[in-house]
Amino acid sequence: MAKKITVLPGDGIGPEVMDGAVKVLKAVFDHFGHQFEFVEALIGGIAIDLEGSPLPTATLQKCAESDAILLGAVGGPKWDHNKPELRPEKGLLGLRKEMGLFANLRPVKTYEPLISASPLKQEVIGNVDLLIVRELTGGLYFGRPSERRGQFNEEVVDTLQYSKAEIERIVEKAFQLARLRRKKLTSVDKANVLESSRMWREIVDQMASKYQDVDVQHMLVDSTAMQLITKPEQFDVIVTENLFGDILSDEASIITGSLGMLPSASLRADAFGMYEPVHGSAPDIAGQGKANPLGTILSAAMMLRYSFGLEIEAKLIETSVDDILKDGYCTGDLQIPNGNILSTSQMTEKVVEKIRENHAINGLAKTYQ
C-alpha cells in the first residue's frame, strides 16, 4: 500500500513553499518509482476561516492516518488579535502535542556560496555543521496555569513545567544523535536561575555515564546566544528546552544566511514525524513569489530520511540544493555575489531540474555524497 503524507500548507507563504516541496517530492518519487499518496488538510488561520478551528478534527484524523506530515507555516496579522483558542499558532502547538512529537531537530550549516555575504566573519562561520535538538511538547508552551488573573488582569502567569520523563526522553534522543555525529553534546539551560534547568542538568549528568563516548558540556542560554555567533564551530549537537530552542534556532539562521534555508523534523519514538521549515508565514512577502522554498524542500528531505528510511533520495535533494547555490542561483533573502535571484516557483523548477541532472549522472552509483 502507498505510504501517506499529509500536506498542511497553512497561511502566508506556507502554500507557496509547500507547492515547491511537493513538486520536488513528486519528482524524486517519479525517478525512483516510489508510490506515495498526498492528502491535503487545513491548519492555522485558513482553518479558522473555513472551519472555525485552527486544528479541525478532520485534520487531526488525516494526520493520525498518515505516515508523515509536511507543514508550511501558520499565522498572520489577520488573526493576531483572536482569542487564544482561535489563534493559528494554537493549531500547530496542538498538533505537535496530539501527535506526541517531542523531539524537534533543527540542523544548521554553512553553505559555502552564502558565506561571503554574511554579516558574520568568514573565519567564524566557515565550517559550521550543528544540530539543535529542541524539546517540543513541554516547558513554557504547555505549562499550567497559563492565565491572566485579577479583576483587572493585574497579573499574568505562564508556567515552565517538565516531568522528569519528558526531560529524560529528549536528552536521551540528543545523546543518540550525538553518537551518530561528532560525539559532542552541549546541553543549554539557565541552571543559575531556574529549578527546571537544575533538574535538566542532573538528568544530563546521570545519562552521560551511559554515553561515555560522548563529550558533554553544559552552557547557560545567555552565553550560548553569544557563542552561537562568535564561536559556532564548537557546537555539534545542542539540546535544550522548548523556548530556548525556538529562540536559538532563529538566531542560528544567521550562520546559514537566511531563516528561509532552515529545515526541521519533529519526531517521536517511532518513524512517524512532522516536517516543517523553521520560518513562519512571512506576511511581509506573502503572495509575491519571493519566498525561499528551500527550507521546506530540505524539510521534505528530512522526511524521506527519518520517516521513510530513504537516505539516498534525501541526499539527492540536499546535494541538488547545494549545487544550485554553487551555480549562483538564489532567492531574494539570500546573497550570492553576482548571483541570479529567482522567484519561489523558478527556484522550485531549478531544484527539480538539478535532481533530474544529478540522478541521471549518479543514479546508477546511488551515491550523492
Ligand X SMILES: NC(=O)c1ccc[n+]([C@@H]2O[C@H](COP(=O)([O-])OP(=O)(O)OC[C@H]3O[C@@H](n4cnc5c(N)ncnc54)[C@H](O)[C@@H]3O)[C@@H](O)[C@H]2O)c1
Ligand Y SMILES: CC(C)[C@H](C(=O)O)[C@@H](O)C(=O)O
Extract the annotated binding site: 76-89, 96, 106, 134, 222, 246, 250, 280-292
DSSP secondary structure string for all residues of 162-212: --HHHHHHHHHHHHHHHHHTTSEEEEEE-TTT-HHHHHHHHHHHHHHTT-T
Q: How far is it, in rounded angstroms, from Cα 197 to Cα 72? A: 32
Q: Which residues are annotated binding-site positions for Mg(2+)?
A: 222, 246, 250
Phi and psi at 235, nearest 5°, equal -90, 140
Contact string (CB under 6 A) for ligand X, positions 307-346, x = contact: --------------------------x-------------
The verdict on 89 binding ligand Y (CB under 6 A) reads: yes
d(CA 325, CA 348) in angstroms, rounded, equals 13
SS3 state at 57 = helix
Please choose, out of 1-9, 71-79, 115-123, 141-149, the segment that lies near ligand X by the rule CB under 6 A. Answer: 71-79
6 binds, among Mg ion, ligand Y, ligand X, none (CB under 5 to 8 A by kind): none
Report whether 260 contacts 316 (CB < 8 A): no
Residues annotated as catalytic are: 141, 190, 222, 246, 250
- DSSP-assigned letter for residue 280: -
CB of 221 to ligand X, least distance (A): 19
Residue 42 near ligand X by CB under 6 A? no
Stretch that binds ligand X, among 60-68, 230-238, 277-285, 349-357 (CB under 6 A): 277-285
Q: Is 75 among the residues that bind ligand X (CB under 6 A)?
A: yes
> Which one among 42, 55, 93, 103 touches ligand Y, defined by CB under 6 A?
93
**Residue in the structure block whose three cell numbers are 525512483:** 32
CB closer to ligand Y, 259 vs 314: 259
Is residue 92 a contact point for ligand Y (CB under 6 A)? Answer: yes
Choose the binding region for ligand Y from 87-95, 145-153, 163-171, 337-345 (rule: CB under 6 A): 87-95
Buried b (16+ CB within 10 A) or exposed e, 276-291: bbbbbbbbebbeebbb
- Is residue 246 at the binding interface for Mg ion, with CB under 5 A as the rule? yes
Q: What angle do CA 299, 220, 255 make, to 5 degrees?
A: 40
Residues that bind ligand X (CB under 6 A): 13, 17, 73-76, 89, 92, 259-260, 276, 279-285, 291-292, 295, 333
